[in-house]
């Protein structure tokens, strides 16, 4: 099983990172994919990948919540890393209008810029959206030339939105929100195309039930898989097999 989106390089894991990875392995999660967020996260992310080389794989990108007036300079630095290190994806990138709309134009510019990097480097993208699904879909549809691929991580939207995302050739990352009683995903998950579903935690955030409100970790990926299996009335082995194959293909994980 693969946790396709985990921030285990974050300071929340500094005291027990080895134990966190051990618990993940014990639950059958043997790959943990690490999205970058800003300039400060690069060093701890790469250090984590180095420490767990057969388990962790890194991405490179600028998260929309860290876009500000210096976005062009920041993007230049982010982009320079692709010449120094092999990354499996451009991410996480996107649009976030939940907290602050001050830099909306800069977020859109950063998103489009990074989508174009992905085209040039033939890498998938990992997309973050919050209160911005329609804006993100509009921008992505303009940039989709048939070569872009990727995932809308932490998906918690409607079936209509899921179809729109799949229609652009993009996957859905299902995480802790899928287990929330009032999240609405119990109506959506049974109708999804499993060819476009991958699993994630987004740890340390959004822990699934029964750990909601506590620190999330990669071992809890299996709880998401169990929820998907229950809602679709299939075995957890089927969920594991399909989502793992999807993630391996999307991120070209067999290349290293």
pLDDT tens digit sequence for 160-183:
999 999 999 999 999 999 999 988
CA distance 222 to 224: 5
Amino acid 76: pLDDT:
98
Structure tokens at 159: 């079936």
**pLDDT surpassing 70 at residue 256:** no
Give yes or no for a contact between 219 and 29, defined as CB atoms under 8 angstroms apart.
yes
Question: Count of CB atoms within 10 A of residue 120's CB?
Answer: 11
Residue with tokens 């099983």: 1
Max Cα-Cα span within the chain? 49
Q: What digits encode the pLDDT tens for the residues 188-232? A: 999 999 999 999 999 999 999 999 999 999 999 999 999 999 999
**pLDDT surpassing 80 at residue 28:** yes
Q: Is 0.95 topped by the overall pTM?
A: yes
Beta-carbon contacts of 9 under 8 Å, excluding residues fewer than 6 positions away, are 34, 41, 44, 45, 47, 48
CATH value at residue 142: 3.20.20.140
* Rg of the chain (C-alpha set): 17
**pLDDT surpassing 60 at residue 252:** yes
Domain range enclosing 186: 2-255
Report the domain count for the chain. 1
Per-residue CA distances from 216 to 35, 87, 110, 177 (Å): 16, 24, 28, 12
φ/ψ region of 146 (left if φ > 0, alpha if ψ in -120 to 50, else beta) reads left
Give yes or no for a contact between 89 and 251, defined as CB atoms under 8 angstroms apart.
yes
**pLDDT surpassing 90 at residue 255:** no
Structure tokens at 136: 């993100």
């Amino acid at each position: 099983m693969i946790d396709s989106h985990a921030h285990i390089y974050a300071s929340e894991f500094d005291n027990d990172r080895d134990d966190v990875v051990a618990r993940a392995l014990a639950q059958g999660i043997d790959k943990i994919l690490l999205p970058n967020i800003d300039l400060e996260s690069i060093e701890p992310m790469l250090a984590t990948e180095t420490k767990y080389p057969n388990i962790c794989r890194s991405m490179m990108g600028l998260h929309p919540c860290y876009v500000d007036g210096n976005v062009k300079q920041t993007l230049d630095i982010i982009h320079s890393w692709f010449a120094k290190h092999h990354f499996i994806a451009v991410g996480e990138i996107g649009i976030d209008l939940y907290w602050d709309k001050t830099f909306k134009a800069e977020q859109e510019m950063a998103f489009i810029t990074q989508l174009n990097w992905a085209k040039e480097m033939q890498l998938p993208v990992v997309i973050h959206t919050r209160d911005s699904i329609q804006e993100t879909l509009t921008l992505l549809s303009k940039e989709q030339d048939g070569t872009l691929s990727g995932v809308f991580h932490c998906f918690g939207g409607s079936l209509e939105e899921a179809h729109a995302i799949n229609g652009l050739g993009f996957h859905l990352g299902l995480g802790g929100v899928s287990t929330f009683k009032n999240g609405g995903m119990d109506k959506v998950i049974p109708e999804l195309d499993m060819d476009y579903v991958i699993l994630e935690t987004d740890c340390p955030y959004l822990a699934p039930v029964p750990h909601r409100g506590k620190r999330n970790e990669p071992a809890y990926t299996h709880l998401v898989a169990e929820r998907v299996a229950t809602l679709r009335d299939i075995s957890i082995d089927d969920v594991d097999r399909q989502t793992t194959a999807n993630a391996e293909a999307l991120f070209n994980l067999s290349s290293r």
